[in-house]
Structures are given as C-alpha cells and as structure tokens.
Amino acid sequence: MNEFSTDGDTIFQNPDLKPLEDVKLTIKNSGIAQTVPALDEHWVEKKYFLNYEPIVLFDEEGRSIIGAKERWLEVVSYILNDLDWLLRLPFYKFWSNIVYNSRIMDSITIFLQEAPTYYALENFPNDNDLKEHLDRLRYVVLLILARLITNKESPAEYMSLSEHAHLLFQKNIFTVPIFMDICQQYGRNNRKIVNKIVNSAFALEPLYNEDLREAVQFIIKALRDIERRFEDCPIDQEGKAVLLSERGGANVEINLSTLEDLILYLLDTVSTINIFINIYLASINTFKIECFITKIISVYANTIPEMYKRLDDLAFKDETIAKYMELKHRLDVARVEILNIYRMLVYTDVKNTVENKNVILNSETEEIIEDFFNNLTHALSEKEFAIDYHNVYPITDDVQQLIDSYKNIDTMKCEFILNSIFTYLDEPDFSVASTSFKSIPKSLAGPSNSKKNRNSEEVDKNEVAGSSKEITRTKSDVVSIISEIKDILCDLGEGFLEMCLKHYNYNKEAVINAVLEDSLPIELKSLDRNLPFIPPDPEEASATIDNALGMQRLNIYDNDEFDIMTKDNIDTSKIHKGKRKDKYKNFNELLNDKSYIAQTKDIYNKYTIVTNEYDDEYDDTYDDQDIGSSAQDDIVEVDARPFTIPRVLRRQVNNDFEDTEENNDFNHVSETQVNKDNFVQDPALLRAKAEERRLLKQGFRTNNSPTKNVVGNPKGQGQTKEVLDSRNKKGKSKATRANHNRRAGSQWKRSHGMVPS
C-alpha cells in the first residue's frame, strides 16, 4: 500500500502525451514534492470488495428463510457501490487499482461464475426488486470488462498495446476461462461488446491461443470423465491404467442429486463452448481436432441416452415429476448445443469457401471439402447423432449446395453419405448421376419420398410443383408436433408455436433451437408468446380455393363422414368398391351354416368352470323322523273305503294245496289280485302292513328296550330305583322338545269334560 496520504492535490498531467506506463506524477505530501508513477500501488484505495453469492430464499424443506432476500439485496448493493466507484476513477487510478488490488478481479470472476446463466434464469425468483439489482450488477460488470479491454480513453490517457497485453496476460486480468464465462453470461444478448472484448484480447496477446489449446484438452478430459460415469467398462483413451475409484461404470448407483450435477455440468460445458466458438471464430481451428469431434459425438450418442434412462428411473415419479421435467429440458438443450458445436466446426470453412467459390477447384478448397466429407462419414457411425443432425441441418442441402457450386466434386462420396442417411430414415436410395439432387426438397424434415425409378418428366413436374408450395401438415400432425415442443418449452402458447412451425416448415428442432438462441425473426418476436391454438374451421376448409386449379371447391357432400377435405380419419370399412358378394348364395346355405354353434359352445363352456362355493356340513337331524309329506301313505289308508268283492261272488279256492308252498304262493297272489274287491279290510292284515311299514322306515331295527315305568307303586309304599331313574330321565328329557302351555292345555281339557278328573 502507499506510504503517502492521497489527501494532497494530485493532478494528472501528460503534456507530452506519453503512455501511462511512462508517465510520472508529482504530488505534495506535507509540502514536499514527490514523483510517483501514474501506474503505481500508491493510487490503490483501501477497499474490501465483497463476492457475489447466489440467492437462496428457501431451505431444503421448502420453508422460507427469514431475512434471506434482504441480506442478498444488501450484499449486491455493496458490490454495486464499489464497482460504481471503480468506474468513476480516472484512467491511471482505475488501472492502478485493477493491477495492485487482486480483490477486484476476484469479485468480478466469482460473479461471472456464480451469476445465473441463460438456462438458469427461469429458476431465478420472480421478484422485481431482485431482478433489478441483478440486471444492474450485470450491466456494471460488463462496463468494467469493456473498460479493461480499452487501452485508450483520451489522447493523454492511454497505454501502449504491448503494456496493455502484458498487464492482461501476466497479471491474469483476463484468462481463457474468464473469456468463456464472459461469453456464457453476455454473449447471447450483448454479442457486439463481447465480440470486441474477446477478439481484441486474443489479437493483443497471441499467447492466449496456447492457453486455449490446453483448455481444449482439459474439456476433452472433462467430457471423458462424464462418460466414465455411464459406461460399463470405461477405458482410458491414452491406454493408461484407470484407478478403481475413478471407474464409475453404468452399474454404479447414482442418486438424483448426483445425476442433476452431471447434467448441469454437461450443459454448462457444451453451451459455453458453443457460444465461445460463435464469438471467437478463430477458435474453430483449435477445437477442430479429431479427438474433440469424436468425443462430442460419443457423448451425444452414448452418454446422453444413458442419462435419459437414469433420469426416468430416478425422477419419473409423482413426487419428483417437476425435477424430472426440468432435467429432461436441460438434456434437450444440451443436445441442441452439441449439434450447433458440430455444425460450426465442420461447416464454417465450407460456408466460407462457397461464398468465395471458384469454378475450378484449387488445392485448398478441395482439401476443405474433403475434410467436410470425412467428418460426415465419421459421424454416420452413430445413428442417433446422424439422424438428429440431419433433421436440424439437412445434409442433403449441404451436398446439393456443393454440387451446384463445384462441378468436379466426388460424386461417389456424396452418394455414400446420402444413401447412409436414407438408410437410417428408411428412404429409397439416390443416385447422383440419375437425379442430380434436383428432387431433394429444401425442407429440414429430411429427404424426399420420391421413388428411385421415377422418370425425368415426373422429377421436373414435382420440382415445379414443390417449388411453389410450402410444406403442409394435417391438424393431427400439427397438434402432435406442438405437444412435443411443449414438453420442452412449456411456457409458450400453442398458437405461437404453430406460427413458428409454419415459418420453419414444421421442423420442431429448428423451432426449439431458434427459441433457445433467441434468434426468431422479427415477425415472430412481435407475436404474443401465450397465443392459443385455434383449430381450423371445417366449414371454411371445405370451401377453400384450390390454388393449383384456380377454382373453388363446393359439393353437396361437404362435411359428411367421407369428406377427406375436412376430416383426417375416415372409416374405410364402410367403403366398398365394386359389387359386394353376399355371404350366402341361397337359403340352403343359410340353413346349413352352423357357425353359430361355435359361438354358443364358448358360452356354455363358461358354465363348466363355475364351482359350488357352498361347503357347509350336511344337517341330518331329521333324517330318521317322518316330517310332513316325506313319507308316502299307503293307498289303503288314503282311501277310506277301498273297493272289495262281495263274499258271495268270490271264487272257491281249492284247499287241498293250502299246506304246500306253491299253494301259499298262489293264495298270496290271489289275495293280492282280489284285494280290491274286499268289502271289509282284514284288521289283522292292516296291522301287519302297518308294522311292516314301520320296520321298513326304521331300517328293520327292532326296539327291544324295556318300557320305562314312571308310575310306580301306590303312594306310601315306596318306589324302586328303576322308577326313580325313569322319572328323573323323563324330567330331564322334557327340555329337549316343546313343552309350551301343557298345563294350561290339560286344565282346558278337564274343564270341557274331555279328561276325567
């Protein structure tokens, strides 16, 4: 720090217009004149510059942090005051503080690293006060960066270019990582200023290019480290041994937090590279090395799909669906950034060559085109990358442009590249000699659907028709494409996306890229981004004017179920061409048709699988008793007066054979036959039949148990043990059956004289 007080009068005087490093200033300290260099530590003020911190308003549990907003605003206000003070300093004091107070550049560097990038601004709190402070801080930092790259502010206040370059490089005021951070923070909205800062610094100090080459190798290593986390058997490209701790592999468990860090790291890396090479075009030759191009293709085709799978496994749940959509959007943006990087690296030289084309190929132009074809051939090894690149930047258009510009181009390589793309897209092959690429459309959606055996007249006809028409899509296709874009750009309206699709020939990748890069044309930027989707009116569509025919289409069958002009899907089963064949030729075929039997058989077969789920124990309580009408009465008992034959009319039976068995059998049959004629039934026979029925009912079981005596001897003579036991059993058995009102019933009978008292 300075030994002298700066309270004295100090006037910057440079009458000889010397550069700042040669200027000496005279100051007075306690009346003593002293000479101090204009660029010296003497002019450094004692100031402590605070560092920027990302704002955090909520804790891990989602609760608001008390005082977090006020603290962030206070810190940013202090930083703004210090940077405003720095900007107001004169030229010599400004550079003295920058060179000899490292806290200033540390504070600016931390802001460039920690400030929200273009893809993270949507997560910044939606608070006007917070946004105003952030915008103000971004503006002041950009002014300081612009002043740092300026070596001359007036004829008297300037420094030589060599000294300027020495300070920027040797004092680490600007480094390659700082240039990349500047491009990431300001390159999209302040392209001219950032372009001046970066290109001027590289022009002042060529040593920055050496640092850039080292940075490219570091980026390749960083991408390789990301790949290892998602590979089964990661292998070092240089053949070196890999530590087990460094080998991630696809089988290693990755939680959602780690996956989020890897996705954001990949997105930040590729988005920074993309904007940097767009601003500093001279860096294309540095990045355009085989290992870097191979690495970004490998990451796109292998690592990013694995990230999608891990994301589906970890976050595709109800409680984490918001985080799933956010990270999926980040991966989609990373894919677009990689495609843009590849486009810049392989096509920039071709574009410059075509703009300065010559009819005859010179050696340099031929080498550029050869290198372009080699890069495309190498990219075709990864199907996913080749298809996506072709959808965003049609290879057919690039090859067509080269065919039109140069006559001596290698057609065999052109055919190989195009046929490879068409194979991926399941399209027919093309021949350069037969088509001259005239049938390839200019749309970004892919190759033409033309057939290989199409003649030249059809090609010319389709070419004329295709040149005057735009690509049209059905309503269902448009709605489907809009829904896919809404998965990524969910804050845009369907109507706005429809207008963007019309402008970009319904190429959703081009629309997404234009929105993310903020490169929409003026007519689309002026539209309301929340514009809703309005489906076409079928009445209006049916009466539209056909431009090809020049006449209006009106029909009585408009808007019916078969109108293909207003409906996308028609039930073709109701449409029949020609004579319809009847199912039966005659009535006999109708009767002989037994096809319905198979249908009914299936119905009845279903009943066979029905099981009786009732499995209760069978109740056999009343099986041995005659209940109700379960026992059939004899016909004799049913008929009170059976018909009998009078005794005088009966036949006389020979009694000679009564003792023999045959006579007994005959008499038994005869009695059975003439039983109907008996006038009076034999009581003994009736009793025998009743006994037979009783035995039959009891299963021929005889009841030989003795009769239980409950009466006993007269009163006063005593009772035997058997009588007492019988009485006891009778008393106990009364509870086993009904015994209701028996006493009342007996009294009623006695009162009516039915029972002698």
Q: Is the pLDDT of residue 614 over 60?
A: no
Task: Give the whole-angstrom CA distance, residue 689 versus residue 669.
Answer: 16
CB atoms closer than 10 angstroms to residue 423: 13
C-alpha 416, offset from chain centre: 36
Which pLDDT value is given to residue 576? 72
Between residues 433 and 538, the one the model is more confident about = 538
Q: What is the largest CA-CA distance in the chain?
A: 186
- pLDDT tens track for 313-349: 998 888 889 889 999 999 999 999 999 999 999 999 8
On the CB side of 144, CA atoms within 13 Å amount to 30
* Residue 193 predicted with pLDDT over 80: yes
pLDDT at 507: 85
pLDDT tens for 339-389 read 999 999 999 988 888 887 654 457 788 888 889 999 998 998 888 999 999
Given a cut of 80, is residue 412 above it in pLDDT?
A: yes
Is pLDDT at 631 greater than 70 in this prediction? no
pLDDT tops 50 at residue 451: no
Confirm if 163 and 21 have CB atoms less than 8 A apart. Answer: yes
Q: Please compute Rg for the chain using Cα positions.
A: 53
Instruction: Give the list of residues 6+ apart from residue 382 with CB closer than 8 angstroms, or none.
Output: 297, 298, 300, 301, 302
Over residues 675-685, mean pLDDT:
68
Q: What is the mean pLDDT of residues 666-672?
A: 47
562 vs 266, residue with greater confidence: 266
Looking at per-residue confidence, does 568 or 590 come out higher? 590
- Pick from 46, 48, 50, 47: nearest CA to 71: 50
Structure confidence at residue 8 (pLDDT): 39
What is the rounded average pLDDT for all residues in the chain? 78
**pLDDT reading at 630 higher than 80:** no
The residue ranking higher by pLDDT, 122 or 3, is: 122
Q: What pLDDT was estimated at residue 263? A: 94
Position 6 pLDDT exceeds 50: no
C-alpha 48: how far from chain center: 49
Give the least confident one: 119-128, 266-275, 634-643, 681-690.
634-643
What pLDDT does 703 receive? 57
Confidence of residue 675 (pLDDT cuts 50, 70, 90): low
Specify the pLDDT at position 278.
94
Residue with the larger pLDDT of the pair 4 and 231: 231
Give the closest residue to 685 by CA, choosing from 695, 675, 694, 677.
Answer: 675
- pLDDT higher than 50, residue 149: yes
Q: Report pTM.
A: 0.57
pLDDT computed for residue 642 by the predictor: 56
115 or 523, greater pLDDT: 115
Which pLDDT score is estimated for 470? 46
Q: Which of 390-399, 456-465, 617-626 has the highest mean pLDDT?
A: 390-399
HEC per residue, 638-668:
HCCCCCCCCHHHCCCCCHHHCCCHHHHHHHH
Give me the percent of the chain exceeding a pLDDT of 90: 32
Residue 360 confidence (pLDDT) = 47
> Shortest CA distance to 169 belongs to which of 142, 191, 193, 200?
200
Residue 78 has pLDDT above 70, yes or no: yes
pLDDT of residue 719: 87
What percent of the chain stands above pLDDT 70?
72
Q: In the predicted model, what is the mean pLDDT of residues 101-112?
A: 94
- Picking from 679, 682, 656, the residue whose alpha carbon sits closest to that of residue 667 is 656
pLDDT for 15: 78
Top mean pLDDT of 75-79, 538-542, 751-755 is at 75-79
Q: How far apart are CA 131 and CA 529, in angstroms?
A: 21
